A and B are shown apart, each in its own frame.
Chain A
Amino acid sequence: MRKKLSLTPYLFLTPALLVIAIFVLYPIVAVVYYSFTDYDIVTPPQWVGLKNYAQLAQDSTFWLALKNSFIYLIATPTLIVLSILLAIVVNRNLPGIHLFRALYYIPAVSGSIAIGITWRWLFDVNGGLVNGFLIPLGILKEPVQWLAEPAYTLTIAILLTVWAGVGYYAVIFLAGLQNIPEELYDAALIDGCNNFQKHWYVSLPGLRPQIVFVAVISSLAALRVFDEIYILTNRTGGILDSGVTMVFYLWRQAFRLSHAGYASAIAIVLLLITLAFSILNVRLLERGAEAN
């Protein structure tokens, strides 16, 4: 082994680290600084201390956004349950099963804007399929203005996230299922397990790594949701801000109202929540691993 300090590894790393330093590390530092300033992007930032944070504490829209972002986390358990069920359904050797798997995956590859627009029209008061089907079936008496009802905005966005994600996460769970040794299922059958028990005692524990992965990825995505809200509410955030989430509020403050300082304070709160959430996630999952 040569002991001479070589420059080679550092040269290999330089391009990547340079890009990350400019577009990730510098922005973190800059956002912390901006969050203590009044900054409209055009004139230089003015130091105001904790003013932005004090203002946030009294900003009812911010609290609403915070609440909405937490509500959005319902998407995670829903996605996990539905994608595991879907994975179990498609995990069988039937002719044409690949075609079906591809069909379930379509929303995931179509892009958030295309599916967002599709959903806007699905829930359209006049021409939408939802009213169009529910009225003849007698479930609704008259057309519902789905996207103009504050009570529905967030629910529709969450449904959209779940609908678009199920096929995607099911692929991950399917790969996990296929890694579970067949002998375990045979043993479960011999022990007298029925179909449900078979999956409860064999599939679920076997899918542990995939559940962890999907829980982390989908909950971080839920905390950062933006595209769905932007398209479904036509950039407004919904009637009475009913669909405003943390990232949507950050976008509105920074890029619609040019309140870069205030938006930076929102960004810092978002960062702290994400951090706390990641630690919590890891803790919970570690505890779950011990219990097993």
Chain B
Amino acid sequence: MAQTQTISIPAVTGRTRGRTQILEKIFWYLLLCLLSMVTVLPFLWIFLTAFKGPNDAVYSTPPQLIPHDPTLDNFIRVWNQLPIGRFFLNSILVAASTTGLNVLITSLAAYPLAKMNFPGRDAIFYLLLATLIVPVQLTYIPSFILAVKVFQYYDTLLALILPNISSVFSIFLLRQAFKSVPNDLIDAGRIDGASELRIWWEIVMPVIRPSLATVAIFTFVNSWNDFFWPSLMLHTRERMTLSVGLAALQGMFTSDFRGVAAGVTMTVIPILIFFIALQRQFIRGLTGAVKG
């Protein structure tokens, strides 16, 4: 590519080209910094407010960003009044068990849809696809009644896990992945007399590991950020997940901006660390979903 460029602009000398390149770079970095202010500034402001002491202004024009009198009191106050640690534990428990079960159950279902011939296969698949159009909030009215009257798991974490251990989206993605596995591999297993269960678990599952990771990340993030259904189900403070707990915090600390800021900071920072650690998988998962 570099060669094509040198040929197409032969009149420019090496020195001026070097200079315009540097200017161009400066322009792009300025633009990138400006754009990142748009996404980062609101969070930065919240984080800094969380450290503000009683003598720092939170209501001032122009705004004071940097705390002059930094303190950890806000964090301690919020931590003592709300079981933030518990919220975390609950969110991890719900997201991890939902993800584990979802990946297992949907990959079990996706395998025959991709690699076996049986009556009703296409009908089942298209029925599943059709349900993707249904707004999930529609299902919450009957699901709520089921939760209270049939399953009786209102106000428990099970109510958040059970409805999500299968999802059409996961089945759809994994079916695509299984389809790309060569038939020879599966036939070899069948000739060796392995059961379908063993072929699924020992032969095909390892091959589609990247897709399993995609589905796992998707399910985990969705479960972690889910709010509507958890807010309907969870009442007792000790049983709340992070999103429901945060909404409760906003209600409790209505006029205590420093407290709200400390609560948001405590919940967002660990998520950001998690994201940065898994950034590559995140992005691959996201772009993989489009192709699927």
Contacts and interface: CB of A to CB of B under 8 A. Distances in A.
Interface residues of B, number: 89
Contacts of A12: 108-109, 111-112, 196, 200
A238 interface: no
Contacts of A255: 144, 232
A129 B137 contact: no
Given A110-B43, A132-B62, A19 B138 contact: no
Interface in A249-292: 250-251, 254-255, 260, 263-264, 267-268, 270-271, 274-275, 278
A134 to B, nearest CB: 9
A135 B61 contact: yes
Contacts, number: 257
B22 to A, nearest CB: 12
Contact of B62 (A9, A136, A226): A136
A12 B175 CA distance: 13
Contacts of A34: 141-142
Interface string A4-34: 0110111011011111101111111011001
Contacts of B224: 111
Contacts of A46: none
A250 B142 CA distance: 13
A31 B141 contact: yes
B35 A26 contact: no
Nearest to B37: A103
A172 B288 CA distance: 9
25 contacts: A8-B112, A13-B112, A19-B105, A25-B131, A27-B143, A31-B142, A34-B142, A98-B279, A102-B275, A106-B39, A106-B40, A109-B221, A110-B272, A111-B267, A113-B227, A118-B46, A127-B59, A127-B63, A129-B41, A186-B1, A190-B8, A210-B290, A231-B250, A267-B138, A271-B133
Contact of A121 (B31, B41, B260): B260
Contacts of B264: 114, 117-118
Interface stretch (B11-19, B72-80, B165-173, B206-214): B165-173
A contact residues, range: 35 or more
The prevalent SS among residues of B at the interface is: helix
B42 interface: yes
B46 A254 contact: no
B131 A24 contact: yes
Interface hub of B4, B162, B264, B271 (most chain A Cβ within 10 A): B264
B191 interface: no
Nearest to A260: B141
Given A103-B39, A168-B286, A5 B105 contact: no
Given A27-B141, A136-B62, A113 B243 contact: yes
A251 B247 contact: no
Contact of B45 (A10, A17, A129, A231): A129
Interface string A155-171: 00000000100011001
A97 B232 CA distance: 41
